[in-house]
Amino acid sequence: MLNESVKNVKGIGEKFAEDLNLMNVYTVEDLLHYLPYKYDVLEILPLSELIHEDKVTIVGRILYEPSLNFYGRKKSRLVLTVDVENVAIKAVMFNRAFAKKQLNAGDIVTLTGKWDAHRLQITVSNYRKGAQEDSTEIQPMYSVKGDVTNYRLKKVISQALKDYGDQITEILPVSYLTDYKLPARKDAVEMLHFPQNRVQLKHSRRRYIYEEFLLFQLKMQLLRKQHREATEGNAQEYDVEKVDSFIERFPFKLTNAQNASLEEILLDMRSSYRMNRLLQGDVGSGKTAVAAICLYASLTAGKQGALMVPTEILAEQHYQSLQELFGELANVRLLTGSVKAKERREIVAGLEAGEIDLIIGTHALIQDDVLFHDLGLVIVDEQHRFGVEQRRTLRDKGLHPDVLFMTATPIPRTLAITAFGDMDVSQINEMPAGRKEVETLWVKENMFERILNFIIKHVQSGEQAYLISPLIEESDKLDIQNAVDLYHQLIEFFPPEIKVGLMHGRLPADEKDAVMKDYAENKIQVLVSTTVVEVGVNVPNATIMVIYDAERFGLAQLHQLRGRVGRGDKQSYCILIAEPKNEVGKERMSIMTETNNGFELAERDLQLRGPGDFFGRKQSGIPEFKVADMVHDYRALETARNDATFIVNQELLTNDSEYAKLRELLETDPDLHTKLD
């Protein structure tokens, strides 16, 4: 059986099995699916096609007895002269004195190593007696632990394939194999371990990638379905007329994209399933307005609403604007970590009694003693900054609240359908009319004085600026010190009528409040800050954003910071001060200057940095695939996604015996807690 211990494979003893356990290989099945992390392709090319300093493989006949020299204590140098295409090639091997016995004049050898085209010389890293059978040889490379070597691992995998290979049964319906021209499951596994040629490798990889994606997407689609069907009775009967007149309160007309997203969300709220939706839109695209309307809709259905945001500044800002917007329509309260105990008790009681209609807050909202009377809608802003657990806690507070996640980090399509594959997605892909594009410049540090003069000029004509202070370490303390230093430097540099403010995460909430308020009222013209102003903050009169050490930020974060300006009708500027050390860093700065479109930027950032880095370290929920790479293999991902949607919608897993194997496999997944029937 495939699920028996690896110890049952011939050639694996106690110690070997223990080392395999270190590699998370416990069963025969684990062993068979322990795949190479890369393949070295040894291809024998004509001498004329070898590239200087490349790793190459050549085959030739040894011309003379190799010469061996010792130097230092244990070091040696073995030199062969090899005839390749009637050219005498010098081959140098370091510290392989033992090879002298094996290699004699007249022998044919295959040598792999670094090629020096000028001296016609190869520095050998690998050698073998005899010629390579095919002109191309593919060597799988496994990552190994303990005493396990690639050689030993290949041997036992080969043994396992011989004794257990027939038990690797097909899980895909036959039509998929023929339609997509995929090799059978067993063949694919075998060829991934022992590929004979590139074509085989390519097709077996293709098969494995598709299978990984399909299983994952099926799981996501099933989860989505389970979410939707898990609850009944949260159909929020909101008052359409009231909602319409609420929309009239805004001083602007909603964009088409806002209207479309709003409709999708309201439809979810009206229906009986639990909404689990992601609303994404670039900074300033008007998500908050949509959120406010949805919260209001929930109130007209007699329910409470909650808005959770990542920082206190943002919570306070939302609180103020929502209070203004709702006026007499709702009892809106703010709950953050800095609310005093007495007021907090009062708020907690008010929420439980249902006297508070709408609560805005930070993590403080998800503490155990915060209970709701009847929570209808939860909106989580900048949701990628919250852990999966925190999101779940809030969602589980009410009976079955509808949940809307909002993000201004445009999530590339590939990530949206993997990391958030179990969600529905609404997208605001259009900016309110009349916005001027922010002009982005990338400069070196020696331009700093010119930048300050540029700021003075604009401030004197009534505008305001942000300066994001240098990032030295990812440590709060040093960053704050930087902000403080810069703040003093600027006070000295600027004429006295230009007021400079300082903002960072360690300031007490009331001071932060006061600073932001002064900035919003233009009592402060230049705000020096750490990245705490990153999200949400809205001061339309600010037109200049200067970011120090820009190369140290992710593009998504830079884009967020840039989004703090360009909110009014004046031309705005984002100035990136950066001295990137490598090409990728330079490329990233250039991208920032080339596009203001968050979605485009996100795609390009993803391609440059890979999915792991995209959200920063906090992000969880990005699945790991063995072979598949969701950026590189995005087409397979989309195909698998479409197929999974079809399979789930048509209920093929339960209705069609061709899908029985897939179903069996999915039912072993601990996340899909219920049986599929």
Which parts of this chain interact with ligand ADP (CB under 6 A)?
252-255, 258, 281, 283-289, 408, 432, 538, 567
Nearest to 381 by CA among 565, 602, 560: 560
Q: How far apart are CA 139 and CA 660, in angstroms?
A: 36
Decide if residue 276 touches Mg ion (CB under 5 A): no
Enclosing H/E stretch for 168: none
Q: How far apart are CA 636 and CA 527, in angstroms?
A: 47
Question: By rule CB under 5 A, what string of x and - marks binding of each residue 172-211 to Mg ion?
Answer: ----------------------------------------
Phi, psi of 125 (to 5 degrees): -105, -20
Q: Helices 555-562 and 598-609 sit at what angle, rounded to 10 degrees? A: 160
Enclosing H/E stretch for 421: none
At position 389, the amino acid (one-letter code) is E
DSSP 624: -
Partner whose binding site includes residue 234, from ligand ADP, Mg ion, none (CB under 5 to 8 Å by kind): Mg ion
Partner whose binding site includes residue 418, from Mg ion, ligand ADP, none (CB under 5 to 8 Å by kind): none
Decide if residue 402 touches Mg ion (CB under 5 A): yes
Give whichever of 93 and 325 is closer to ligand ADP, judged by the CB atom.
325
**Closest distance to Mg ion from the beta carbon of 377 (Å):** 9
Give whichever of 432 and 616 is closer to ligand ADP, judged by the CB atom.
432
Enclosing H/E stretch for 537: none
Decide if residue 400 touches Mg ion (CB under 5 A): no
- CA 457 from chain center: how many Å? 40
**Closest distance to Mg ion from the beta carbon of 448 (Å):** 53
Question: By rule CB under 5 A, what string of x and - marks binding of each residue 4-23 to Mg ion?
Answer: --------------------
Partner whose binding site includes residue 289, from Mg ion, ligand ADP, none (CB under 5 to 8 Å by kind): ligand ADP
Number of chain positions touching Mg ion (CB under 5 A): 3
Give whichever of 113 and 398 is closer to Mg ion, judged by the CB atom.
398
Phi-psi region of 362 (alpha: psi -120 to 50; beta: other; left: phi over 0): beta
Give whichever of 402 and 603 is closer to Mg ion, judged by the CB atom.
402
> Which tokens go with 582?
């490598």
Phi, psi of 347 (to 5 degrees): -65, -45
Nearest to 114 by CA among 208, 62, 51, 69: 51
Stretch near Mg ion under the rule CB under 5 A, chosen from 61-69, 228-236, 379-387, 652-660: 228-236
Give whichever of 29 and 402 is closer to Mg ion, judged by the CB atom.
402
Q: How far apart are CA 559 and CA 408, in angstroms?
A: 9
Bridge partners, 128 (sequence order) = 110
Q: How far apart are CA 668 and CA 104, in angstroms?
A: 58
3-state helix, strand, coil in the chain (%, to 5): 45, 20, 35
Nearest to 168 by CA among 32, 23, 35: 32
Give whichever of 234 and 531 is closer to Mg ion, judged by the CB atom.
234
**Closest distance to ligand ADP from the beta carbon of 335 (Å):** 21
**Closest distance to Mg ion from the beta carbon of 220 (Å):** 20
Partner whose binding site includes residue 421, from ligand ADP, Mg ion, none (CB under 5 to 8 Å by kind): none
**Closest distance to ligand ADP from the beta carbon of 185 (Å):** 46
Among 221, 234, 311, 469, contact with Mg ion (rule: CB under 5 A)? 234
**Closest distance to Mg ion from the beta carbon of 376 (Å):** 8
**Closest distance to ligand ADP from the beta carbon of 615 (Å):** 18
> Which tokens go with 528?
């020096």
Give whichever of 258 and 298 is closer to ligand ADP, judged by the CB atom.
258
**Closest distance to ligand ADP from the beta carbon of 321 (Å):** 8
Give whichever of 402 and 463 is closer to Mg ion, judged by the CB atom.
402
Give whichever of 93 and 411 is closer to ligand ADP, judged by the CB atom.
411
> Which tokens go with 306?
């909650």
**Closest distance to ligand ADP from the beta carbon of 540 (Å):** 6
Q: How far apart are CA 132 and CA 186, in angstroms?
A: 27
* CB-closest chain residue to ligand ADP: 286
Q: Which residue in the block uniquely carries the two structure tokens 């088409």?
A: 256
At position 287, the amino acid (one-letter code) is K
Q: How far apart are CA 42 and CA 134, in angstroms?
A: 10
Partner whose binding site includes residue 408, from ligand ADP, Mg ion, none (CB under 5 to 8 Å by kind): ligand ADP
The CA-CA-CA angle for residues 574, 577, 578, to 5°, reads 130
Stretch near Mg ion under the rule CB under 5 A, chosen from 295-303, 317-325, 399-407, 408-416: 399-407
Partner whose binding site includes residue 432, from Mg ion, ligand ADP, none (CB under 5 to 8 Å by kind): ligand ADP
Q: What are the residues binding Mg ion (CB under 5 A)?
A: 234, 269, 402
